[in-house]
Amino acid sequence: MRTFVVCMLLWGGLAWAERSFAQVTAPSEGTTVCAFADGEEMSLHYLQEPFNHHDEPAMGKPWMPGGSALTLFTQTPVVLGDSLIPTGAYTVYLTPEKHMWTLIVSRNTKVGNPYDESLDLARSAMEIGTLDQPAPQLTLYFAHLAPKQCNIRVDFGKTRAWVDFHEK
């Protein structure tokens, strides 16, 4: 955060005031990788949108952080919830809710296109919890839980959401 000193002329005298202005930053790119025990991988690419209380994602609507869908690449078939996701490239959307989030994997491969429910391949409820300290930007990472299981974790503000992927 930058601080600027501002000099103002008030009724014939000088007054000094310090004013803080938050720097506006564009989202940077992030990638997280899950490496399964057999050497196969899946990765998720996303924009690390800065957290801002005044510009939080809309509840109940698919979210495209930074105006772009997340991209999922998998070298092996994986299962999300009850749905099989074949080897390939997909877009991913997050739908925040007050008591749970939903992760949606779409057949759409154009990250700038608007969300189209008819292209959904898989969707799964995500568990949510509260972080002690707010994440300053959207952060995603995989936790390797078992030889054929990774858990995607999404931190944004004081919320952490997570769901498991299993290698087929």
- pLDDT on residue 67: 87
pLDDT band at 53 (very low <50, low <70, confident <90, very high): low
Please check the confidence at residue 5 and state whether its pLDDT lies above 70.
no
- State the residue for tokens 């939903």: 102
Instruction: Print burial letters for 48-86: b (CB count within 10 Å at least 16), e (below 16).
Output: bbbbeeeeebeeeebbbbbebbbbbebbbebbbeeeebe
- pLDDT on residue 26: 57
- pLDDT on residue 25: 54
What phi and psi, each to the nearest 5 degrees, are found at residue 12?
A: 85, -5
Return the domain boundaries, the chain: 26-167
pLDDT band at 3 (very low <50, low <70, confident <90, very high): very low
Lowest mean per-residue pLDDT among 14-18, 24-28, 30-34, 119-123: 14-18
Q: Indicate yes or no: pTM above 0.95.
A: no
pLDDT digits (tens, 9 = 90+) for 74-129: 999 999 999 999 999 999 999 999 899 999 999 998 888 899 999 999 999 999 99
